[in-house]
Amino acid sequence: MAGFREYKIGSRLFGLALGGSMTITLFFPSINIASVSSTDIALTKQLAIGHESGFNLDDPWMQGKNKPLSVSLKVDPLTNQPISGGMQVYVYEKGTSLPNGVDHPKILGEGIRELSVQDGRVKDAKKDVGAVFTLAKGMYQDKQYSYIDDLTATKGWTPAEVMRVAKDSDVSMAGKGKTFFIREGCWWCHTLLPEETQDWQVFGAPPMLGDFNGESPTAFGSDRKGPDLLHVGSRNSSKEWMMMHFFNPRLVQPHSIMPRFDYLWGKYDADGKKINYAEWRKEYNEYREGKRVSPPDVPSYASNSDIRGLIDFILSLK
Amino acid sequence: MLKYLFAKNEDIPAGSAAIFFGFSAILWFVMGTGLGSFNAAKLAFPDFVTGNAYFSFGHMRQVHVMAVIFGWISMAFAMAMMYITPALGNNKLWSEKLGIWNCFLWNAGLVLGLTALWMGITSGREYSDFPWPIDLYLASCVFIPLGVNVWMTIINRRTQGIYTTNWFFAAATFMVIIVFLIGNLPEFFHLTGLTEAYLTWWFAHNVLGLWITPVAAAIAYYTIPKVTGNPLYSHRIGHLHFWSVVVFYSTPAAHHLMSAPLPEWLKSFASVEGVLILVPAIAFVSNIMLTMQGKWYMFVENIEVRFTVTGCLMAIPLNMQGGFQQTRAINWYIHGTGWIVAHAHLALLGFSTFLEVAAVYYGMQTIMRRKLYSITLANMHFWLLLIGFTVYWVSMTIAGLIQGAGKIYEVPYIDVVIAEHPYMIARWLGGSMVFSGNILWLYNMWMTARKGTVVPQGRLPHELAYER
């Protein structure tokens, strides 16, 4: 190439500058971040939310497929004896992608990965068979750690058996709900990150570095136009409030600018009746104009509706 | 366009790729700002077009952002590169055919990607919202062909030296490919946790800092000397600008995550580098302003100069804001508020857009060899853009400061929402002015193509008087 010799020097310097900048800002931080161990919150999130909540080839239309179920187990599925205090398990039915910490125990952190592999036998979990996981505590080199226990491998509990003894009211579809959180763009207004400086008094404790291991996408949120939601489950655990708020935010918060999410109810309500949205809106407008004393009731949602998953997810954010 | 896609490269008239990119860019600008206006209406009037997944804010928000960034801004850049790079090398574009294919595939891919976003199919990561197959498509069919075309044109130049604009074009087209591929690693390789969050914002920052900012500045380095006839004030300051952008703008990605649990050393490093962004900013503004010496009357008389100088002047508050926003002292207050939205629009709608608009005005007239159809419409476009943008910026800055106050005074969050409401309406009005201005522009450009006065060979459009 014709040109001044300065261009050769310049190109090499450019490479050096860009390479140097990327080393400092990409390579070094990744070593730093990768060395952090998962907290209990991270492990719970991984198990409850699953492999990926954004676009992925197993759920390209973002319908909440390929996600686990969180089950509050009351009886042992094999012996049918009640479990004292209940047990929180995470059911990965056949074909569901496994949590990131199970596929790649390395990201769990020191102690946790060894316990998960040796005691929890997570490497025995297979996607095409399915698995049931829980959080367990164990000792490694004289320190106590939480770890992921593959109950299918250690106790022989299969997803089918756990679901047989579980009631729908014990099942939380928080995993599916996070997919809808991403799809509906909730994170564009509601952050999932109380800031380290001022927010903690109003929105709760800011998350720690180890709270995000294995979570994808982290969905911190964009600019905040609504309250932070990372600890909303601790502030507001009312399913009824959530239902009204999602169906029409202005029912419970007249000055809210949040859009309506009534379409997430789907076609049928909990009793199998068709939901008449137009009728509801008409009655609501009459209420707003003062012709009705109270607003129309929000329909109960069907157990397989999108809104069920979303509300389960929001309530799981404790 | 279809006949050029399959013609031989030699048969395609010089400047065709630029024209196609130019009209595509203007169309995307109209669509992108229309989407913006639609979204703003939803924030001001929450029940505007409600109850439907496809038109909900959560689906439409990213469509607006991606349409303006990868539709308007990036295509206007491509248009500028298609005619400026060869002109500066005293040569023709290496391949008009590649340019036209690039434009065609770009438009097709963008429509596909935006449709996916509109349906809710997103990766959940701001700025890298497109699902990864679309990202691969964009890297391979949009940025790589553009980069190849620009590089080959520069390599085959007939001048010995390379002018400032072309350093930026070459570096930016190269860097954007790297940024695109590395920034989307979380999607390609399913990286998780804070690594994913950080890479997402590394991508976002570097699209802004290594693609949008340098190329917009580079365009000004061409437009002002070319239209005024003055030589660039200082080559040395151009050097300073170039190198300081590469070093200081590629590093402070962590400043988007100052309140997140990232390693503190990374945040401090980002703060320092980020404040140093003032160095290229001051270099750029001073260089361009000083190049205008003796020709300030053109600011009044000439639309391209007016747009460019206004954009340049906007770089002053932009970089002052940007430089200091990333210090922890200021960041804690304004993070996640409307101030940031105002800042983002100052950068993309203020600084960047004003500079590209000038290049598109100038380029389209020069290549089509037609003088602008109506200076009145161009003036209206300028004022609608400027006033609309200013209303937007002022209202969102105020709203942001109120939201920041909400962080200190522990008021119920709804009080903050109520306080912002008038500014949301003002923002919508400002954005709608921008949208209307763009519709006028599209009409003006179309009429220029059909009925503009012919500019004789060797004359510049502004040397001719308006016949109307």
Q: pLDDT tens digits for A213-254?
A: 999 899 999 899 999 999 999 999 999 999 999 999 999 999
What residues of chain B lie within 8 A of the CB of A187, using their CB? 124
Q: Are B59 and A185 contacting, i.e. CB atoms less than 8 angstroms apart?
A: yes
Q: Are B27 and B110 contacting, i.e. CB atoms less than 8 angstroms apart?
A: no
Q: What pLDDT is attached to residue B169?
A: 96
Q: Give every CB contact of residue A135 below 8 A, 6+ residues apart in sequence.
A: A40, A43, A44, A47, A88, A146, A147, A148, A149
The CA distance from B133 to B118, in Å, is 16
Q: Do B58 and A185 touch (CB under 8 A)?
A: yes
Q: Do A213 and B336 touch (CB under 8 A)?
A: no
Domain ranges of chain A: 1-35, 40-172, 179-316
Q: Per the structure block, which two tokens stand in for A256?
A: 């809210």
Residue in chain B nearest A211 by alpha carbon:
B193
The 8-class DSSP code of residue A268 comes to: B
* Strand ranges of the sheet holding A143-150, from the earlier edge strand across to the other edge: A143-150, A131-140, A82-92, A69-75, A171-172
Q: What pTM, to 2 d.p., does this model score?
A: 0.94
Q: What pLDDT is attached to residue B467?
A: 59
Residue position matching structure tokens 């553009």: B146
Beta strands A131-140 and A143-150, pairing class: antiparallel
Kindly report the CATH class assigned to A179-316: mainly alpha
Angle at A286 between CA A268 and CA B46, to 5 degrees: 75
Beta strands A82-92 and A69-75, pairing class: antiparallel
Kindly report the backbone phi and psi dihedral angles of residue B262, in degrees, each rounded to the nearest multiple of 5, phi listed first: -90, 160
Q: What is the CA radius of gyration of chain B?
A: 22
Report cis status (omega within 30 of 0) of the bond before A217.
yes
Cβ density class B171-199: b for 16+ within 10 Å, e for less: bbbbbbbbbbbbbbbbbeebbbbbbbbbb
In a domain, B364, yes or no: no
Return mean pLDDT, chain B: 93
- Expressed as residue numbers, the domain containing B18 is 1-162
Mean pLDDT throughout B45-65? 92
Is residue B42 less than 8 Å (CB to CB) from chain A? yes
CB atoms within 10 A of CB A142: 5
Q: Do A193 and B407 touch (CB under 8 A)?
A: no
Summarize chain B as % helix, strand, coil (round to 5).
Answer: 80, 0, 20
Residue among A224, A175, A217 at smallest CA distance from A203:
A224
Q: Do A25 and B62 touch (CB under 8 A)?
A: no
Helix or strand or coil: residue A90?
A: strand
Q: What pLDDT is attached to residue A305?
A: 94
CB atoms within 10 A of CB A27: 11
Digit-coded pLDDT (tens) for B3-48: 788 888 888 899 999 999 999 999 999 999 999 999 999 999 998 9
The CA distance from B72 to B442, in Å, is 13
CA distance B417 to chain A (A): 7
Number of structural domains in chain B: 1
Residue in chain B nearest A6 by alpha carbon:
B161
Is residue B332 less than 8 Å (CB to CB) from chain A? yes
Along the 318 residues of chain A, how does pLDDT read in single tens digits? 457 888 889 899 999 999 999 999 999 998 988 889 999 999 999 999 999 999 999 999 999 999 999 999 999 999 999 999 999 999 999 999 999 999 999 999 999 999 999 999 999 999 999 999 999 999 999 999 999 999 999 999 999 999 999 999 999 999 999 999 999 999 999 999 998 777 888 899 999 989 999 998 999 998 999 999 999 999 999 999 999 999 999 999 999 999 999 999 999 999 999 999 999 999 999 999 999 999 999 999 999 999 999 999 999 999
Helix or strand or coil: residue B123?
A: coil
Indicate the helix (H) or strand (E) that contains B281: helix B278-291
In a domain, B29, yes or no: yes
The CA distance from A268 to A266, in Å, is 6
Digit-coded pLDDT (tens) for B338-374: 999 999 999 999 999 999 999 999 999 999 999 999 9
Mean pLDDT throughout B129-156? 95
Residue A70 β-bridge partners:
A90, A172
Q: Give every CB contact of residue B54 below 8 A, 6+ residues apart in sequence.
A: B118, B119
Q: Are B168 and B283 contacting, i.e. CB atoms less than 8 angstroms apart?
A: no
Q: Which amino acid is at A90?
A: Y
Q: Which of B163, B206, B259, B415 would you mutate first to test chain A, the one with the most A CBs within 10 A?
A: B259
Digit-coded pLDDT (tens) for B187-242: 999 999 999 999 999 999 999 999 999 999 999 999 999 999 999 999 999 999 99
Identify which of A26, A189, A218 has the shortest CB distance to residue B194. A218
Q: Which of A255, A257, A267 would you mutate first to test chain B, the one with the most B CBs within 10 A?
A: A257
Q: Are A150 and A121 contacting, i.e. CB atoms less than 8 angstroms apart?
A: yes
In a domain, B447, yes or no: no
Is residue B294 less than 8 Å (CB to CB) from chain A? no
E strands, chain A, in order: 69-75, 82-92, 131-140, 143-150, 171-172
Q: What is the CA radius of gyration of chain A?
A: 24
Q: Do B196 and A217 touch (CB under 8 A)?
A: yes
Angle at B460 between CA B456 and CA B461, to 5 degrees: 85
Identify which of A21, A55, A213 has the shortest CB distance to residue B247. A21
Q: Are B307 and B467 contacting, i.e. CB atoms less than 8 angstroms apart?
A: no
Indicate the helix (H) or strand (E) that contains B424: helix B413-451
Q: Do A217 and B52 touch (CB under 8 A)?
A: no
Q: Do B336 and A25 touch (CB under 8 A)?
A: no
What crossing angle do the helices spanning B338-345 and B375-408 adopt, rounded to 10°? 160
Cβ density class A267-304: b for 16+ within 10 Å, e for less: eebeeeeebeeeebbebbeeeeeeeeeebbebbbbbee
In a domain, B67, yes or no: yes
Q: Give every CB contact of residue B308 below 8 A, 6+ residues apart in sequence.
A: B219, B220, B223, B224, B288, B354, B355, B358
Q: Which amino acid is at A173?
A: M
Is residue B90 less than 8 Å (CB to CB) from chain A? no
The 8-class DSSP code of residue A5 comes to: H
Residue among B196, B181, B180 at smallest CA distance from A51:
B196
Residue position matching structure tokens 């226990």: A149
In a domain, B276, yes or no: no
Counted across chains A and B, CB pairs separated by less than 8 A come out at 228
Digit-coded pLDDT (tens) for B286-313: 999 999 999 999 999 899 999 999 999 9
Is residue B182 less than 8 Å (CB to CB) from chain A? yes
CA distance B143 to chain A (A): 18
